[in-house]
Structure 1
Amino acid sequence: MTGIKAPSKRQLNNYLYDRRREKFGRAAIYLDELEKWIFDGTTIPDDENEVFVFSYHVIEAEEPSFRLALSTKKLLNIVCSTDILHIDATYKLIWQGFPVLVLGTTDKNRKFHPLYLGVSTNERQEDFQMILMALKKRFCLYLIT
């Protein structure tokens, strides 16, 4: 088109950044926002397919850290009937730059079924231990009878 100057790459990047931020909000989440989101999500829903936070731990220190685990009542019920659990963390699946922990089981056809997702600032023994202990202590509370 005559008379129309093409935008520079920088102008395009700024435009796209503004549109993404306008549509999706800020890319990062602050610890206080995360705590509010966790607190709002800890109520056990009536709907067995609705996600809720069933375990969390937030440390506000010089180097803040957090751990949280999400699931549904329906998925937690599956834990009761399984003999084998798999847990893994990878940096290929991240949230806010932190690895997502996936815990699930396999069926007799060797298909993997995720049971919950966790996010942790670290991958130390105590991070995995917190999630597994939460399952051990709390999953029976969510059983539907």
Structure 2
Amino acid sequence: MKRLATQLLGSRAKPKRIRHDILDKFEPEKGAAPKLSQVQHFIGHYKRTRLKESDFVEDMEILATGLKYYDEIGSIDPFIFGYEVEGGKPTFGDGTDEHPLVVGVSTPFMLKKLSYANEHIVHIDATYKLNQSGYPTIVLGVSDRARSFHPVAIFITSQVTGPIIHKVLVQLFNMYCVLTGELPEIRYCMADADKAQCNAVQSAVALKTRNPEKLVFLMCFFHVVKNVGEHVSKL
């Protein structure tokens, strides 16, 4: 039963659905069937202990401590960065505008892809459906002339605002400098049609990159079409 439950969990099935499938497959005798509360408890424990899926601050602190960046880290070993450190321990914002949550995940191999940003396009995009807790996920990467996308880092944030985009980029550029010993050079940056994002990108690039005067900010084609359509419909 537990094996079936974990398999169904991989397809994002809900506890109630998992319990029904268990009953249909095993047809347990009356009194032997698991209660919904038992299924929920097993799934919650499995997520926390095996999948490391948790939004508890204490669990996040443990995870960040175990995945800190260090000098001898392997090229494909993941590490967490972007958070504040107090007394040698990671601390996370409470999600307010004054103390936003910003947590980045990358590997040395991925982060070094930012070196191609001096010729190719850096992409910044946010989505809200990559984690079960609903936190915004900001994906950053570089695309090349062959139209291949190379992810550089993924950030979990409490909001998607200009100041948070600025902080995300500053943390990313700082981490790149720690890894390579030099600041990146950003030639093109593509993001949403949002003035706050544009200002955040320009301020972060001016602060933490080489040759910031060469930056060209681009709007993604989807937002070009969307905005043109909205303005044309008003004519």
- Same fold (TM > 0.5): yes
- The answer to whether 1:84 aligns with 2:121 is yes
Find the counterpart in structure 2 of residue 73 from structure 1: 108
The counterpart of 2:75, out of the listed 48, 61, 69, is 48
Within 5 A, what are the aligned runs for 1:50-129? 50-57=77-84, 58-60=92-94, 65-82=100-117, 83-94=120-131, 96-129=133-166
Residues 73 and 143 in structure 1, CA contact (< 8 A), matched pair in contact too: no
Which letter maps to 1:108? R
Bigger shift: residues 29-38 or 73-82 = 29-38
Under a length normalisation based on structure 2, what TM-score does the superposition of the two structures give? 0.50
The counterpart of 1:15, out of the listed 24, 35, 38, is 38
Which runs of 5 or more structure 1 residues have no equivalent in the other structure? none
Calculate the aligned-residue CA RMSD, in Å. 2.9
Tell me by how many angstroms 1:124 deviates.
Answer: 1.2
Partner Cα distance (1:141, 1:32) in 2: 27
Residues 86 and 103 in structure 1, CA contact (< 8 A), matched pair in contact too: yes
Residues 102 and 156 in structure 2, CA contact (< 8 A), matched pair in contact too: yes
Tell me by how many angstroms 1:95 deviates.
Answer: 5.0
1:98-118 Cα distance to aligned partner (Å, 9 max, x none): 021111111212122211110
Q: What percent of counterpart residues are identical?
A: 22
Higher gyration radius (CA): 2
Which letter maps to 2:101? F
Tell me by how many angstroms 1:54 deviates.
Answer: 2.9
Residues 69 and 117 in structure 1, CA contact (< 8 A), matched pair in contact too: yes
Tell me by how many angstroms 1:47 deviates.
Answer: 0.5
Bigger shift: residues 56-65 or 118-127 = 56-65
Within 5 A, what are the aligned runs for 1:28-39? 28-39=54-65
Between structures 1 and 2, the one with greater strand share? 1
Total equivalences in the alignment: 139
Partner Cα distance (1:62, 1:77) in 2: 31
1:38-61 Cα distance to aligned partner (Å, 9 max, x none): 233223252110011132242358
Tell me by how many angstroms 1:35 deviates.
Answer: 2.7
Residues 89 and 99 in structure 1, CA contact (< 8 A), matched pair in contact too: yes
The answer to which structure, 1 or 2, has the higher relative contact order (CA under 8 A, 6+ apart) is 1
